[in-house]
Structure formats: C-alpha cells, structure tokens
Structure 1
Amino acid sequence: MYRKTFARIHLGNLKQNIRNAAGNVPDACGIVAVVKANAYGHGAVECARAAKQAGACMLAVALAEEAVPLIQENIGLPIIIIGRSNHEQLRLAVELGLQPCVFTPDDIAFLQEASAEQGTKTKVHLKFDTGMCRIGIRSDQELGECIKTLNACDRVGLEGVFTHFANSDAKNKDHAIGQHEKFLHYIDILRENGFRPAIHADNSAGTIDLPQFSHDMVRFGISMYGYYPSDEVDKDAVPLSPVMEVFAEISHVKTIEPGESVGYGSTFTAQRTTKVATVQIGYGDGYNRLLSNKGKMIVTTDCGSFYAPIIGRVCMDQTMIDITDVGGAVQTGDVVTVLGKKGDKLVSADDIAKICGTISYEVLLDFNERVPRVYSDDNGADPAGKEQK
C-alpha cells in the first residue's frame, strides 16, 4: 500500500453483529450471511470466512459469478443465489453446486437439463413475490405450474422457499404482516403437495423487529456490517458495531487569506485567514461529490480529535478541509478519519448518506478498489491487519 488512503475492516465487529442477531431469534434459526456485492464493499471472501467463524449456516449472493471466489477459497458453507439467474448463470450454479433462486417452470426445467448433463443434482429455493413486486411467484396458478415441473424433474430438489419484505424497517408493520400471511398461504400449498422446504423471510430489519417471522433462517445483510436498515427499527434489540472505517492521508497544508477561493468553481471563499489541508481521497475513490462544502472529516492531533469541514468541491483524487479550528499540529503525512470514530467524534455512513440523499448501503459500496481493504480481527493478535492481495 503506497498511498495512506485505506479502509480498515473490523471482522471482530462483524462476528459480534452476527452473534447479537442470533441472540434475537430462536435457537434453531440459522443466520444466512449476505455477502453479495463484495460483501457490501467490505470484501466477500474475508467477511464470509468471518461469518462462518461466527456461526453463519449459509452464504447469500445475488449473482452466480459472485460465488466463484468463495468456492475457490474453500469457505465451506452452502451458497444461495437470491437474485434471478439467466441460463448461463444457472449453468454456472450447477457447476459450482450453488442453490439458485427460481420462480418459473422454464428455469426449473433448464436446471434439470443442466444437472443431467453434469451428472449431478441441484437444490433450489422458490422465490415468492408477496408485495415487493420485484421477482417471484405471484399466484396459486404460478406455484402450481412450478410444483408440476418440480415433480417431473428428479435432478432438481426444493431446498427452500423465501420472500422479501418491502417495509419491515418501517415503524408500521402492517405491510410486512400482510406479506407474511401471503407467504404462509403458499407454504401451506407446498406442504399439501408433500414438500417440506426450509423457510426464510426475514432480512436485517425483520431479524431485528420481526423475529417471530424468522422460521428456519434469516438473511442478515446490511446489519451484519454494523448499520441499521432505518431509524425506525428497535436498535436496542440487536446492538451493532460498524465494520468499516476509512482513512486518508494529508498531502499538503497551507494558509489562505480572506477573499481567496478553494477548488473547482471557486465555490468556497475564505472569510478569514484559513488553514487548509488537502486530503488524498476524492470521488475517484468513491467519496461522494455531494459532500462538497457539506461533509466533514475527523482530524486527530495530540490535543484530541476535531471535526474539519470540507471546503470547496470534492475533486476526483483530492478533497480540501478547513483545519483552522483544529487544536495541535497538523502536517503532511498525517492520516484523517473519513469514515469512523475517533475519540468523541464520529462520521458514520448514515451521516454521509443524509447529506447525499441516499442510504448507508450505497455509501459503503461506493468506496472502490482504489481504497485498499486492511483486515483486523480486533483481537490484538494482528493490530496492523492484513492487506488484501
């Protein structure tokens, strides 16, 4: 790692988040660790390995190809694909021994053919659309056609059934309750036809607020990484600690006089003698340009930790901050906290999301490959962490 701009991933926090979630659901309920989109930007292989150590029973990805590195690294947990797969992806799922989501007779029949070609059997999870209006079975007739096809396909086994709540993170749970009632109706039909699949409905919000709907497994996504799906869930039910922190190096410190402007477009003009630090991070690293003249970083000196507001526009590779009110010496080579906590100061993904008009999920995912991930188990054994290869 050359530039001192990096993300530290606290795997110990991830493990504890999983254990706290497990404590909020029945003992027999398994935790499915959702590691799609490179584990929400945290690193799929490392997070999957940590999740397994914390007791997760299964991994979830959105795309069959996302499972390739997990298989190559021998994580050793079954993997479900929770998004729709085209035929090329279904063929890959068969090759890798994944458990794809299906909801049409055509996909089931294709899996039968692909499994026969490879001399294997494939486990699938039926997806039900109970109110998300995204993907899934929407009627008794559609389910009946899938059941007929499953009965005709000896190489495709129904391993699980699931739905996804659209509003389980809202204070009013009526929509989620209605979705669950529809889901139970479809499960009854399956049981009448002799199927006994594993059942899962809860996402992170459901795991926290609707543990009574946990069934056999819950899919733990954003909250595994330390963030609540919304401010309306019961945060006392499952304590969470953020897993990612982001740091960046100061490349230059200077003083400007009243009337001088900063950055592209001269959107900030100094009203006083102002001490400015240039920080080695920008929108080319996934640091949102909407933070221009609105966001803040944390600068830590021997006098403590201080907020330093962003001044001027966030550039592709650099961002300027006002360090006039920072106590103590600040110099080139110092590292500031872009995301995380230092002393009594905190910049969270939720804080950044509010400024940018988005959600914590996107903030975490935005930090790209130019920001190396450094891993720590938070157990003191490897305080420097391990740099991703």
Structure 2
Amino acid sequence: MIDKPMSGIRSAWVEIDHQQLLTNFELINQDSPAHLKKLCVVKDQAYGHGGVVIAKAARDAGYDYLAVETIDEAIELRDAQIELPILIFGEVSDAEFAACLAYRITCCVNDIDKARRFNALCLAQGINHTVHIEIDSGMSRWGVRWSDAIPVIEYIARECDGLVLEGMMSHFAMSDEADKTYANLQHSRFVEVIEALEQTDITIPLIHMSNTGGLLDLPHAHFNMIRSGILHLGVYPSLVCKRIEGLKPIMSVKAQIPALRQLQVGDCVGYGMHFTASTPMQIAILPIGYGDGYPRVRNEGYVLIHGQQCPVVGGNAMDAMMVDVSHLDNVSIGDEVVLMGGQGDEWIDPRDLVKWKKTVCYEILTGWRARLPRRYV
C-alpha cells in the first residue's frame, strides 16, 4: 500500500513570516495611544495571509475587535474558537442576520426598515444583539448619509429593544495621500453627527473612522477605536503616508525550479511568441503563473534566484513562467526562486508587482490564489 502524500507539498507556495507579524503588531501597539481600542480587519483571508492565523495573532496582541466582509468569514473564525467580537462590514440580509444571532456576530444596521425587521427577529428569540451603524460621510457606498443619520440612530436607540447600538463608524475614501482635503471634509461630516448626538441622551460606546491611512496620518480622526487593515501585514497603503520603523512585509511568494532550457538563436518563448532569443541563453521554467495570481506580464518584471534579478521572458501562462538565468553560475533544478519578498540583498516589494500589473497593493496581496499552499514560518 502506498502512503498518500500530505497536502501543501507543491513546489510553489506563499510563505508567511509569523514572527515578523508579531513584531508588526507590537510596533503598531507602541505607536498607538494606549487608550485606543484596536480592530483588526481579517476579511478575504486577511488579504490572502490566512484569516484564522492573523485573527489569533491579533487576539494575542491585545486587539479588541475583528472585522470581516462576509458571514462565512465570520463563521470560520467562530469555528476556530476565536471569541473576540466580530463586525461584518457592509450590509447583511435577513438570512445573514439570523446567522449573526446564532454566532454572536455584530453587523451594521443603516436604515429604519432593516432595523425594524432585525429587531423583530431579536425579540422573537429573546436576544439583545449588538449592532453598529455606518455613516456615509462621502464614499457613497455603505451606510446612511451623514445628513440623514440622526433619525435612524434615534429609531434604533429608542424603538428597538432587541438591538444594542454599540458602535458608529465611517470610512475614508482617501486618507493615505498627501492631500487631506477630502479626508478632512469627511471627518467634519462625521463630527457633525457626533455633535448632534451630544444634544440627545444617546450614548454610543465605540466610535471609529480611521482605516490604516487614518491610523497613520489622521490622529484627530482616531476617536476611540482604530482599524488596522494591511498595516500589521507590513504593507503601507501609499508611498506618502507615515512610516513605522521596523515594520516589514510578512508575505513572500516562492517556488523551486523544476526545469531548465537551453535556447538557440531564433528560439521563441511562450504564448504569442513575445520573446525571441537573439543569442544562446538559458532559461528557467517556473511552476507558477497568472492562475496563481502572478501578474500576466510579457517581458516585464523579474524574480530572484541566487540573490540576483532574473528577468521574465515571453508571456507568462496560467501555470508557468520563464525567466532568464544565463547570467547565473551553477543554477540547478530545485533552486529556490523568490517572486515576492527578499533573497540575499535584493527585495521584490508588493509595489513592484503593482507596477507590473498596474493595480494596487490590495489586489496583489489578495490575488494569490488558494491553490498556492500557505506556509507559516
């Protein structure tokens, strides 16, 4: 009988530096005022890093809250015995709200009609359930418009005995760029709602607006809870926002060379024949492609082998890509390749892939597909 191999043995993988993750949390804690509560965003598998792993590290680092985007993400955390409060961003349906009750998951309630229905579900089960309300201060996405917010807040607080209005939030459209004009406008709109509430007897314990950009650059918008999205992952939301000394990316993408090819003059490489050898050369074939999340480039970008840059040649495929290793000595099958991360004195930052894919860091991080095993070191 042949033993079945364990999963996760593929020769291309995502590697997560767990020790650097803990260091990043510690650095953020040291940089943040001690009185602030902290929420860790772990939606979309913590931006591709592993939702349960990052959530447990945040819990151990003293974070007070977690946030996700879908009910399934929240249930996965509960099934992993994570007991921190969990907030679902956005809007939830009636069926999702029923699951929130079952799994003790907080959600946003942003209009009177939904508040009425959700309150009825709570009363029917004899449950008092915590909710937040989101104020649309200028994103034109989720939430109630700032100018219309007070009646909704008053209805939830005064008429909904089954709902406990624990938090009020908003979200910046552009908090991480040098020009803070619009961010400050959003902040002033949010403050309008807070000041109007102060004229009532309604108290909302948690007030939060700052995402990672606001956490770094807008201390006047911290209120009493801040939200960390990609910062603890060691990635900054822009090139111009504040830096925290010692913070480093925790994700690398690596592979091993499974094949080498000798090219003669005139040999073509890859689909579409976007590269033709003008001299004899050696290329390495890598077992990873755009089906795994690497940008679909043509003769652009590079990887690291033996601590040196090796340019991509031709157009990469769904499952393979080719790189020039002619300048390397003693390159061999099985050698480690770094597609994102560091090797020797060289480093490929997520922002390098941003340039090649012409996108943003968030898409690069979340774009590494699940078929790439995650290894935590």
Q: Which TM-score band applies after superposition, normalised by the shorter structure?
A: over 0.9
Query: Aligned runs of 1:147-158 on 2, under 5 Å?
Result: 147-158=154-165
Counterpart of 1:179 in structure 2 is 186
Paired residue for 1:107, among 111, 114, 120?
114
Q: Secondary structure at the match of 1:47?
A: helix
Q: Is residue 128 from structure 1 mapped to residue 130 from structure 2 by the alignment?
A: no
Change (3 A) 1:298 1:53: same
CA distance in 2, matches of 1:28, 1:194: 24
CA distance in 1, matches of 2:202, 2:23: 35
The offset of 1:122, in angstroms, is 0.9
Counterpart of 2:348 in structure 1 is 347
Code of the aligned partner of 1:109 = R
Preserved contact between residue 125 and residue 161 of structure 1 (Cα < 8 Å): yes
Q: Secondary structure at the match of 1:339?
A: strand
Counterpart of 2:223 in structure 1 is 215
Q: Is residue 358 from structure 1 mapped to residue 359 from structure 2 by the alignment?
A: yes
Cα distance per residue 1:353-388 (max 9 Å; x no partner): 111110111011111111000112xxxxxxxxxxxx
Q: Is residue 293 from structure 1 mapped to residue 294 from structure 2 by the alignment?
A: no
Q: Secondary structure at the match of 1:184?
A: helix
Code of the aligned partner of 2:301 = G
CA distance in 2, matches of 1:157, 1:17: 33
The offset of 1:238, in angstroms, is 5.8
CA distance in 1, matches of 2:326, 2:138: 52
Q: Is residue 48 from structure 1 mapped to residue 50 from structure 2 by the alignment?
A: no
Change (3 A) 1:283 1:200: same
Query: Aligned runs of 1:174-253 on 2, under 5 Å?
Result: 174-197=181-204, 198-235=206-243, 237=244, 239-253=246-260
The offset of 1:61, in angstroms, is 0.6
The offset of 1:240, in angstroms, is 2.1
Cα distance per residue 1:192-223 (max 9 Å; x no partner): 22222211111001111112321111110011
Counterpart of 2:321 in structure 1 is 319
Counterpart of 2:75 in structure 1 is 68
The offset of 1:142, in angstroms, is 4.1
Preserved contact between residue 10 and residue 373 of structure 2 (Cα < 8 Å): no
Preserved contact between residue 110 and residue 152 of structure 2 (Cα < 8 Å): no
Code of the aligned partner of 1:8 = E
Preserved contact between residue 297 and residue 310 of structure 1 (Cα < 8 Å): yes
Q: Secondary structure at the match of 1:277?
A: strand
Query: Aligned runs of 1:154-169 on 2, under 5 Å?
Result: 154-169=161-176
Structure 1 vs Structure 2 CA RMSD = 1.4
Code of the aligned partner of 2:101 = V
Cα distance per residue 1:317-354 (max 9 Å; x no partner): 1110000112x311112220111011111111110011
Code of the aligned partner of 2:321 = T
The offset of 1:20, in angstroms, is 2.0
Give the length in aligned residue pairs.
Answer: 369
Counterpart of 1:81 in structure 2 is 88
Preserved contact between residue 149 and residue 193 of structure 2 (Cα < 8 Å): no
Gaps of 5+ in 1: 377-389
Name whichever of 2-11 and 45-54 sits farther off: 2-11
Paired residue for 2:36, among 19, 29, 52?
29
Preserved contact between residue 156 and residue 163 of structure 2 (Cα < 8 Å): no
The offset of 1:134, in angstroms, is 1.0
Cα distance per residue 1:121-178 (max 9 Å; x no partner): 1111110011111121214444313412431111101101111111111101121111
Q: Is residue 269 from structure 1 mapped to residue 276 from structure 2 by the alignment?
A: yes
Code of the aligned partner of 2:139 = M
Change (3 A) 1:186 1:155: same
CA distance in 2, matches of 1:274, 1:143: 69
Preserved contact between residue 105 and residue 145 of structure 1 (Cα < 8 Å): yes
Q: Secondary structure at the match of 2:258?
A: strand
Name whichever of 87-96 and 213-222 sits farther off: 87-96
Preserved contact between residue 137 and residue 143 of structure 1 (Cα < 8 Å): no
CA distance in 2, matches of 1:144, 1:193: 11
| Superposition TM-score, scaled by structure 1 size | 0.91
Code of the aligned partner of 1:309 = P
CA distance in 2, matches of 1:174, 1:321: 45
Counterpart of 1:10 in structure 2 is 17
Q: Percent identity?
A: 34
